[in-house]
Amino acid sequence: MATDPRVEVITELREQTELLRKIVGLLVAAKTPGTTISSVDLDGQYGDPVVRAKDPKDWTGEPMKGRKFSECPAEYLEMLAERFDYFASKEEDAKKQKYNLLDAQRARSWAGRLRSGWTAPTRVVDETQTEPTW
């Protein structure tokens, strides 16, 4: 049975779009000085912070307040990183400035990771254990 050529074209376009998203994620991570996906320990205790402030003014999507960085769209995280950079540039307290810059790095690194196709690990339930493992 022949496949409709329109379906084949749409399938190919989706594959190409996914590939472009991965490339853009890697380019964004490489373009940001001192920030690469591996430069910030995203898998550590503090690597996936929760969005605590209201959304950036240019964000038109659904509210992200209360979500972890890994649960936000890459475009949102880029806006968040810019806002953290701005706050860091205005901060006089060196400690607060350091944390704003670190959060900007985390946001950019999560954006790069998400654009390169990262997905959250799934839970594995072992019938012999009482606790689920990851």
Residue 38 is predicted with a pLDDT of 52
Number of domains in the chain: 1
Angle, CA 19 vertex, CA 16 and CA 21 arms, to 5°: 110
Question: Does a structural domain hold residue 129?
Answer: no
Question: Does a structural domain hold residue 120?
Answer: no
Residue 37 is predicted with a pLDDT of 47
103 CA to centre of own chain: 12
Question: Does a structural domain hold residue 34?
Answer: yes
Question: Does a structural domain hold residue 57?
Answer: yes
* Residue range of the domain that includes 30: 8-115
Give the pLDDT of the chain (134 residues) as one tens digit per residue: 678 889 999 999 999 988 777 777 666 655 655 545 454 578 788 888 999 999 998 999 999 999 999 999 999 999 999 999 899 898 899 899 989 989 998 999 899 888 888 877 665 655 666 665 55
68 CA to centre of own chain: 9
Residue 71 is predicted with a pLDDT of 92
Separation in Å, CA 64 to CA 11, 36, 93, 101, 124:
30, 24, 27, 20, 28
Separation in Å, CA 14 to CA 10, 21, 132:
6, 11, 35
